[in-house]
């Protein structure tokens, strides 16, 4: 059985230890974050106690390894309790987070102002008691510079339930600038409860809410304060008075110059990286995880599901037979994972259809399916019409030009859908060698992905920036989701489906799978230019729908291609228009063929 993946918020954390006495709450937090832990053992000069190296480690190392239950590194700062010495070691080791316990670390060891002023990494100050039984986290947020760190920590404590509390003034009707970025992404975290409350006195409201919490995570003051501790009045009040354990956090990221204007809005939007990092860690798989085909068949039968594989094709006689034979033998003849395989042909002029028919695969010409709605060119048209002719509850598409075909291209896509009911759509990714003459370079494929699709995604849909290959041709999903989505008819289909699944079902409904390597025939540069033009149109159409602005009506849909022949340049104008089909659920003929369709 596939184990659920977990988001690890920090690569490594550091905890100083004074002598042989352990800071139990700081170590409990470090252990709960499930990452590498560096222990700095500090020895006060007055103790007269020295630690000497031992072949199996220092005396405290065995105790800590036993109590933490994780691999950790123990380093000794012998005969030193100076913050300067510890800071130098932190700079060398570069942990992501320094955890200090109050009052343990500040009883003659360090001073809080010097730590707050010069910590070289993210900082967490914890005051116990650490909850014995995991419970509820209260995370007050305003969108300040520590918001990303607070989200990262709360979501990394997997056994807790988190409430994100946004406090606003009683007369404020609009979300303040720094919180706008957070307001956009917080609903995407299914692990969070998002709550807004009006309050004149934030500390009092947070204290009241903290009565229901087992752990409070709060940011320190964003800028230097006049308070003795330097934490800020709200954080200091909560640290002293909250009825539960408290963690005060301070980000190592540079602070903005002001708390207003565009700069302040960027503070909150940086927190989107937490969403992407978490999704990437928990929703990225490898095909080898799903290589147990009998287990996949058992899951399919337990859930009473049927699975269809649709193969779009246009003049693929060189590879289509190998693709069909490989997949059919492994996933239909040897084990009953697939219930049907169909070829969705785009009116090939070679032997593509004959080869598929000889192998016993039903063949459809997409221009002849649902002819009353017209016949458009393009891969997306073939995929849209394949919804009509297939029967499965899950539909997988793979391209038919794959030279190194392997069953993993199909079962890798199916694995997350069969194991995790919340996943609606799965994209494949892989290494894409590129052929130059007779040589094949290990990398270099996916030029449109890297030069067009991913920059646009990062700009307009940053939540999807963790998708490695948004344009890959190997993907699949649940019929109940796909039938409700529009399909672009051409090369924009992958872009449109990915964005629409995100907009309709959320980021957590998408997964991606490493299919290792895909070798296929690379397209010439002019064809890639045309593809990019269509993908740009698809992005603009989705932005129109999001912001309700007519943009494409004013955009040129013809493209001028440069020709060089017989020593001179010329222009060839060609109309390159991306059209969109409505959701299949809106087609009456589809509902007649699939009477269980949901409107």
Report pLDDT digits (tens) over 58-84: 455 556 656 555 455 666 555 456 788
pLDDT the model gives residue 551? 75
Output the pLDDT for position 175: 57
* Residue 465: per-residue pLDDT: 95
pTM, 2 dp: 0.86
CA R_g for the chain: 29
Burial class from Cβ neighbours inside 10 Å (0-12, 13-18, 19+) for residue 155 reads: buried
pLDDT lower than 50: segments of the chain? 47-58, 70, 79, 442, 444-445, 598-599
Read off φ and ψ for residue 473, nearest 5 degrees: -90, 0
* 3-state secondary structure string across 442-494: CCCCCHHHHHHHHHHHHHHCHHHCCCCCCCCCCEEEEHHHHCCCCEECCCCHH
Q: What is the pLDDT of residues 428-472, one digit of tens each?
A: 999 877 655 555 554 544 788 889 999 999 989 999 999 999 999
Rounded-to-integer distance, Cα 473 and Cα 319, Å: 15
Number of H helices, E strands in the chain: 21, 24
- For residue 326, the model assigns a pLDDT of 98
Residue ranges of domains in the chain: 12-281, 284-547
**CA separation for the pair 27, 13 (Å, rounded):** 10
Spatial contact of 418 and 505, defined as CB atoms under 8 Å apart? no
| CATH topology assigned to domain 284-547 | Spore Coat Polysaccharide Biosynthesis Protein SpsA; Chain A (3.90.550)
CATH no. for 12-281: 3.40.50.12370
Structure confidence at residue 41 (pLDDT): 78
CB atoms within 10 A of CB 563: 11
* Pairing, β 475-478 against β 425-431: antiparallel
Pick from 471, 317, 470, 483: nearest CA to 386: 483
Which DSSP string do the residues of 88-127 spell out, in sequence order? Answer: HHHHHH--SEEEEETTGGGTTT--HHHHHHH-SSEEEEEE
pLDDT of residue 50: 44
């Amino acid at each position: 059985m596939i184990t659920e993946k977990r988001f690890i918020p920090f690569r490594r954390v550091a905890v100083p230890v004074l002598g042989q006495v352990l800071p139990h709450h700081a170590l409990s937090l470090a252990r709960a974050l499930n990452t590498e832990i560096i222990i700095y053992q500090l020895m006060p000069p007055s103790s007269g106690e020295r630690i000497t190296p031992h072949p199996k480690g220092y005396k405290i190392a065995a105790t800590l390894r036993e109590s933490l239950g994780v691999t950790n590194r123990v380093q000794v700062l012998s005969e030193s309790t100076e913050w300067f010495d510890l800071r130098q070691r932190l700079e060398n080791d570069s942990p992501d987070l320094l955890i200090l316990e109050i009052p343990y670390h500040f009883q003659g060891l360090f001073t809080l102002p010097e730590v707050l002023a010069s910590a070289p990494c993210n900082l967490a100050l914890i005051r116990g008691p650490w909850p014995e039984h995991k419970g509820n986290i209260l995370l007050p947020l305003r969108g300040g510079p520590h918001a990303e760190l607070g989200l990262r920590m709360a979501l990394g404590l997997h056994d807790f339930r988190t409430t994100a509390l946004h406090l606003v003034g009683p007369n404020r009707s609009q979300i303040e600038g720094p919180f706008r970025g957070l307001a956009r992404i917080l609903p995407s975290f299914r692990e969070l409860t998002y709550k807004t409350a009006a309050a004149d006195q934030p500390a009092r409201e947070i204290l009241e809410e903290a009565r229901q919490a087992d752990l409070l995570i709060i940011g320190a003051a964003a800028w230097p304060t006049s308070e003795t501790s330097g934490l800020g009045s709200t954080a200091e009040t909560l640290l002293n008075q909250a009825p539960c354990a408290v963690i005060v956090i301070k980000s190592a990221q540079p602070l903005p110059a002001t708390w207003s204007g565009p700069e302040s809005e960027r503070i909150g939007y940086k927190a989107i990286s937490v969403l992407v990092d978490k999704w990437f860690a928990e929703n990225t798989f490898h095909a080898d995880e799903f290589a147990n085909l009998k287990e996949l068949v058992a899951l399919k039968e337990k859930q009473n599901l049927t699975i269809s594989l649709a193969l779009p094709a246009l003049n693929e006689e060189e590879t289509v037979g190998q693709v069909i034979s490989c997949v059919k033998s492994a996933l239909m003849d040897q084990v009953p994972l697939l219930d049907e395989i169909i070829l969705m042909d785009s009116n090939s002029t070679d032997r593509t259809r004959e080869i598929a028919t000889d192998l016993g695969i039903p063949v459809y010409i997409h221009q002849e399916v649902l002819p009353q709605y017209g016949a458009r060119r393009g891969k997306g048209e073939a995929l849209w019409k394949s919804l009509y002719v297939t029967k499965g509850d899950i539909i997988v598409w793979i391209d038919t030009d794959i030279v190194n075909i392997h069953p993993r291209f199909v079962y890798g896509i199916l694995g997350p859908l069969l194991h995790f009911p919340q996943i609606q759509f799965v994209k494949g990714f892989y290494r894409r060698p590129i052929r130059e003459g007779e040589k094949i370079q290990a990398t270099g494929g996916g030029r449109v992905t890297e030069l067009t699709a991913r920059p646009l995604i990062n700009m307009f849909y940053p939540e999807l920036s963790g998708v490695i290959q948004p344009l890959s041709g190997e993907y699949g999903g649940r019929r109940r989701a796909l039938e409700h989505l529009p399909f672009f008819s051409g090369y924009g289909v992958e872009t449109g489906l990915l964005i629409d699944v995100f907009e309709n079902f959320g980021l957590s409904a998408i997964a991606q799978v490493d299919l290792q390597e895909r070798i296929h025939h690379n397209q010439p540069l002019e064809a890639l230019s045309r593809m990019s033009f269509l993908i740009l149109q698809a992005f603009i159409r989705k932005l129109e729908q999001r912001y309700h602005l007519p943009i494409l009506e004013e955009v040129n849909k013809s493209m001028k291609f440069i020709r060089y022949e017989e020593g001179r340049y010329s222009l060839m104008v060609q109309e390159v228009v991306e059209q969109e089909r409505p959701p299949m659920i809106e087609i009456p003929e589809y509902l007649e063929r699939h009477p269980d369709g949901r409107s």
